[in-house]
Structure 1
């Protein structure tokens, strides 16, 4: 699973990916997100990771509109035809990035994440 997130949301991304090891979590995945910005050719490397992933989860927050890297990752997922799900990570923030196209955005619940993963 590739996790697209704004750098400002790294702590939330850590919580999101960390839930996969909780004993009661009804799903599991391997985090393929980019943890360190690539200094060169990062777009090629990210595209390769997205292609190798079964799907992409985009963590959507008020930081997303200014997160050019995250927006490019989302656009890349759409271009590659990767299954894509947006997860709202802030209460009250519900602005879906246009780069997501017709992909859905849902609230952060185990059921929503599990349903997406199970559908892959």
Structure 2
């Protein structure tokens, strides 16, 4: 598929690395509208990790925020979403688990919708339908 969106995936490293791998795997589907470009960094990296995130986000088209059951406590995810907003990067919040209980990062606004993760929804969201 031509013109794939370059996606930065923000997620809670401590609790949701498995679902990030599922999303990265979907990027490999032949009809995938996105490519996995970069992802969250751990906030205990040396140096200014937020500046590293800014550099990583500079060349992406969209930020996918994977929301799990503990995302509201993940300071790094909240900071990454704030950076995406500052850089005016389009983003959306994706519920990482179908059973419910997924939480938004604390930097999400009350109007930020938490979208259900299905293949069709993902393709629509990446196309800008949000």
* TM-score bin (small chain): 0.7 to 0.9
Tell me what 2:4 maps to. Answer: none
Question: Greater share of strand residues, 1 or 2?
Answer: 2
Cα deviation for residue 36 of structure 1 reads: 5.9
Cα distance between partner residues in 1 of 2:64 and 2:42: 18
Give a deviation string over 1:82-110, Cα, whole Å, max 9, x none: 10110001221244334122443201111
Contact in 2 for aligned 1:17/1:31 (Cα 8 Å): no
3-state secondary structure, aligned to 2:22:
helix
Tell me what 1:52 maps to. Answer: 59
Aligned residues: CA RMSD: 2.1
Of stretches 11-20 and 27-36 in structure 1, the one that deviates more from structure 2 is 27-36
Cα distance between partner residues in 1 of 2:103 and 2:34: 28
3-state secondary structure, aligned to 1:32:
strand
Cα distance between partner residues in 2 of 1:34 and 1:26: 21
Give a deviation string over 1:14-52, Cα, whole Å, max 9, x none: 1111111134x4423133113666322111010111222
3-state secondary structure, aligned to 1:108:
coil
Cα deviation for residue 115 of structure 1 reads: 1.3
Please tell me whether residue 5 in structure 1 is matched to residue 11 in structure 2: yes
Question: Greater share of helix residues, 1 or 2?
Answer: 1
Aligned length: 119
Contact in 2 for aligned 1:55/1:82 (Cα 8 Å): yes
TM-aligned CA distance change 1:99 to 1:35, over 3 Å: closer
Structure 2's unaligned 5+ residue stretches are 1-6
